[in-house]
Amino acid sequence: MALFTREDRVIVINNKPEYIQRILDYDYIIRREPSVVAIVHNEDTLEKLFYGSKEILVPVYRDIHRALAQHRPTVAINLSSYRSVVKTTEPLLRDPNIRVIVIVAEGVPERDMKSLIKIANQNHKTIVGPATFGAITVGALRAGVVGGDYDNILKSRLYSPGSIGIVTRSGGLLNEMFRIVSRNSDGVLEGVAVGGDVFPGSTILDHVLRMNNDPEIRAIVMVSEIGGKEEYEIARLIREGKIRKPIISWVVGVSAELFPWRVQFGHAAAKANSEMEGAREKLRILKQAGSIVPESFGDLERVIREVSDRLELKPREAPYNPLPMDFRKAVSQGLVRRPTSIVSSISKEVDGEISYRGKRVSDILSEGGDIVDVIGYLWFGKQLSPRFRNFLSMCIVLLADHGPHVSGAHNAIVAARAGKDLVSSLASGILTIGPRFGGAIDDAMRYFYDAVSRGISAQEFVEEMKSKGINIPGIGHRVKSKYNPDRRVQLLIEFARRELSSRKYLEFALEVERETLKKSEKLILNVDGAIAAIMLDILDQEGYNIEEMLGLGYGNAIFVLARSVGIIGHILDQKRLKQPLYRHPDDDVYLI
Ligand code: ACO
Ligand code: LMR
């Protein structure tokens, strides 16, 4: 009776996606349905995994009993740590559908294993492990990671069922035997690593007997280790003809006898406490009983080849699905390429420290830099001139806030009083910035630049805009006027007259104001317009490519950055004042 079939359904205890993916990869390679039908872990969710190049969702259950009832798995792979192996394995042993349970954990206490083995025997279940890589029935199911990675699966032809059954303690040795057997016979049909603990859930003898009774298996390869005495039982069964098939045996640890003291090999069970448990004595008894014992481990190839030839085992080549390579691996090997999705030039980590256009933040700080220098690097890609730095710093101070009345602050206040969090309330305020409120700087830059470039007069410009029915960006204010001037604008003009030798854009803007004031005292050069004009003058005098910068948002960015400070202030103020929900008063709404 084969250990596994193509119809087996697997439940995995403890969600380790990479491990589970390797099981599904084998399913795909041998062209069987995905074997893993449920995972048990901390919460009910779905785990996205690959079946070939297609993504599948494997249900994850918090409750193992629900998973068992829902999917009726026949094989379980327990990835729990040794601490919870008993708690998680017991339900599996008592489940009516589960046949085989692979326990991967190392260090499972012997008393725990003894109790689990007792329950397993009572319920006629097979435990493989603990401390195992698992087991495989080639072409049916890989319950674990035996056989190694995809390359090794191909090299060992573990996609094409052969006639050899292999039993080892060690997973590493099992992988080695896969390669040897595949090179010297028609291939592997089954491989089991029983694990290296003193009390394995199933022993090498158990699997040798099972393979002996499996008509599909023509010969058995057994690689045990020093320690324990089950080889004597195997020898007896061979002598009594109860193991009839050719069985090739090797016992790892022959070298242990070269030491004058008892050597503990890698596995807990791998220690010969007497000469009987030594490799040479075991090999002698097995050979004497009729097992085929090579002269050395290296002689195994020859012996396996001899047996295979005698049984006339001819390699069969079953078709398989080539496994798609993970994208990251393919990229690392230069096998695939794809255009990057994002190009970014302004900042990156260098030696674990963020740098802005190559300027390390620690250097900015050590040189006495501040947020305006950071704006220089991140927005303009360079260290700004002192004059430009001072201008931007002044703009941020002047634009930070203009009271709770203005539309941006108002909306943020209303949102805050509606109970919205800071980010949502800030967004509400920032989203109010637009062509009429705070967002006229870029348009003003574009129009002023264009008019000056064309050499038209302010009067011609005003008439042109009027004929188009466009309000001049940077002109006009709801409450400021010729007789209630905006102090911010005055301060900006004073800065320009002090710092700028040429002010052609500002002078043009002031000419425009003179024209518009003829129509209304409120059509002043507003703070957006003043910033736009002075910015143009600075960019012009410092050799920036203005044409390239117009319309990108540099102007409005200043207002957004600055006004975020004020809007956040209003939101915190409203929260601090515990202001209630705002509702507009009826007497202030004209209902049509
Ligand atoms: N250019 C030309 N004419 C204008 C301008 C302007 N910028 N602004 C208003 N007018 C005219 C209107 O066309 C209207 O003329 P009409 O009476 O012949 O119809 C008259 O002035 C009154 O217009 P309103 O829009 O009612 O005036 P309001 O005071 O509401 O406008 C506003 C204020 C929105 C700022 C307006 O001046 C405007 O749109 N300006 C351009 C955008 C701008 O610069 N916004 C930034 C303001 S500052 C800041 O937000 C920090
Ligand atoms: C501001 O800076 O927010 C104000 O000048 C705009 C306004 O509407 O008063």
DSSP, collapsed to helix, strand or coil, labels residue 234 as helix
C-alpha distances in angstroms, 282 versus 55, 172, 203, 244, 543? 50, 21, 16, 19, 90
Q: Please provide the DSSP assignment of 111-152 as one string.
A: HHHHHHHHHHHHTT-EEE-SS--EEEETTTEEEESTT-SHHH
Structure tokens at 344: 């970014």
Q: What is the pLDDT of residue 480?
A: 97
Q: What is the pLDDT of residue 226?
A: 83
Spatial contact of 175 and 151, defined as CB atoms under 8 Å apart: no
Q: What is the pLDDT of residue 11?
A: 98
Minimal-distance CA residue to ligand 2 atom 1: 402
Between the CA of 524 and the centroid of ligand 1 the distance, in Å, is 9
537: left (phi over 0), alpha (psi -120 to 50) or beta: alpha
User: Residue 263: is its pLDDT beyond 70?
Assistant: no
Minimum-distance ligand 1 atom for the alpha carbon of 436: 45
- Over range 217-236, report the average pLDDT: 91
Confidence of residue 122 (pLDDT cuts 50, 70, 90): very high
Minimal-distance CA residue to ligand 2 atom 7: 406
pLDDT, tens digit, 9 for 90 and up, residues 503-531: 999 999 999 999 999 999 999 999 999 99
Would the CB of 478 count as within 6 Å of ligand 2?
Answer: yes
The residues carrying an active-site annotation are 267
Confidence of residue 223 (pLDDT cuts 50, 70, 90): very high
Between the CA of 476 and the centroid of ligand 1 the distance, in Å, is 5
Residues with CB under 6 A from ligand 1: 435-438, 440, 471-478, 516, 520, 522-523, 526-529
Question: 10-310 with 343-592: one CATH topology?
Answer: no
Q: What is the pLDDT of residue 71?
A: 98
Minimal-distance CA residue to ligand 1 atom 10: 471
Confidence of residue 77 (pLDDT cuts 50, 70, 90): very high
Between the CA of 532 and the centroid of ligand 1 the distance, in Å, is 17
Minimal-distance CA residue to ligand 2 atom 4: 402
Minimum-distance ligand 1 atom for the alpha carbon of 478: 29
What share of the chain has pLDDT > 90, as a percent? Answer: 90
Confidence of residue 260 (pLDDT cuts 50, 70, 90): low
pLDDT, tens digit, 9 for 90 and up, residues 550-566: 989 999 999 999 999 99
What share of the chain has pLDDT > 70, as a percent? Answer: 96
Structure tokens at 44: 């009910």
Residue with the bigger pLDDT between 198 and 119: it is 119
b/e map 270-307, b = 16+ CB within 10 Å? bbbeeeebbbebbbebbeebebbbbeeeeebeebbbeb
Average pLDDT of the residues of the chain? 95
State how far the Cα of 281 lies from the Cα of 57, in Å rounded to an integer. 52
Q: What is the pLDDT of residue 428?
A: 98
With tokens 């089950």, the residue in question is: 230
pLDDT, tens digit, 9 for 90 and up, residues 149-193: 999 999 999 999 999 999 999 999 999 999 999 999 999 999 999
Between the CA of 438 and the centroid of ligand 1 the distance, in Å, is 13
Q: What is the pLDDT of residue 384?
A: 97
C-alpha distances in angstroms, 539 versus 36, 53, 302, 512, 536? 64, 53, 84, 21, 5
How far from chain centre, in Å, is Cα 292?
Answer: 50
Would the CB of 242 count as within 6 Å of ligand 2?
Answer: no
DSSP, collapsed to helix, strand or coil, labels residue 13 as strand
State how far the Cα of 562 lies from the Cα of 102, in Å rounded to an integer. 63
- The angle formed by the CA atoms of residues 37, 42 and 47, to the nearest 5 degrees, is 40
Between the CA of 402 and the centroid of ligand 2 the distance, in Å, is 6
* Cα dihedral: 536, 542, 545, 548 (round 10): -40
State how far the Cα of 5 lies from the Cα of 74, in Å rounded to an integer. 10
Q: What is the pLDDT of residue 551?
A: 87
b/e map 93-116, b = 16+ CB within 10 Å? bebeebbbbbbbbbebeeebbeeb
User: Residue 483: is its pLDDT beyond 80?
Assistant: yes
Count how many Cα atoms sit within 13 Å of the Cα of residue 565 in the half-sphere of its side chain: 13
Domain boundaries, the chain: 10-310, 343-592
Between the CA of 472 and the centroid of ligand 1 the distance, in Å, is 8
User: Residue 266: is its pLDDT beyond 90?
Assistant: no
Return the amino acid letter for 592.
Answer: I
Return the amino acid letter for 404.
Answer: P
Minimum-distance ligand 1 atom for the alpha carbon of 516: 2
Q: Strand 219-225 and strand 164-168: pairing? A: parallel
Which class would CATH give 10-310?
alpha beta
Q: Please provide the DSSP assignment of 347-378 as one string.
A: EEEETTEEEETTEEHHHHHHTT--HHHHHIII
- The angle formed by the CA atoms of residues 420, 558 and 485, to the nearest 5 degrees, is 95
450's CB contacts (< 8 A; 6+ apart) are: none
Spatial contact of 40 and 88, defined as CB atoms under 8 Å apart: yes
DSSP 43: S
Would the CB of 437 count as within 6 Å of ligand 2?
Answer: yes
Confidence of residue 115 (pLDDT cuts 50, 70, 90): very high
Ligand nearest to C-alpha 410: 2
Regarding the domain delimited by 343-592, which CATH topology (the fold level of the hierarchy) does it fall under? Answer: Cytochrome p450-Terp; domain 2 (1.10.230)
Structure tokens at 573: 């103020």
| Of 110-124, 227-241, 370-384, 517-531, the least confident | 227-241
Mutate to test the pocket of ligand 2, among 436, 488, 527, 565 (most ligand atoms within 8 A of CB): 527
State how far the Cα of 490 lies from the Cα of 302, in Å rounded to an integer. 99
Query: What is the pTM for the complete model shown?
Result: 0.74
Confidence of residue 255 (pLDDT cuts 50, 70, 90): low
User: Residue 271: is its pLDDT beyond 70?
Assistant: no
- Over range 266-271, report the average pLDDT: 58
User: Residue 268: is its pLDDT beyond 70?
Assistant: no
Would the CB of 406 count as within 6 Å of ligand 2?
Answer: yes
User: Residue 276: is its pLDDT beyond 90?
Assistant: no
Confidence of residue 277 (pLDDT cuts 50, 70, 90): low
**SS (HEC) of 146-184:** CCCCHHHHHHCCCCCCCCEEEEECCHHHHHHHHHHHHHH
Minimum-distance ligand 2 atom for the alpha carbon of 479: 9
Structure tokens at 479: 């409450």
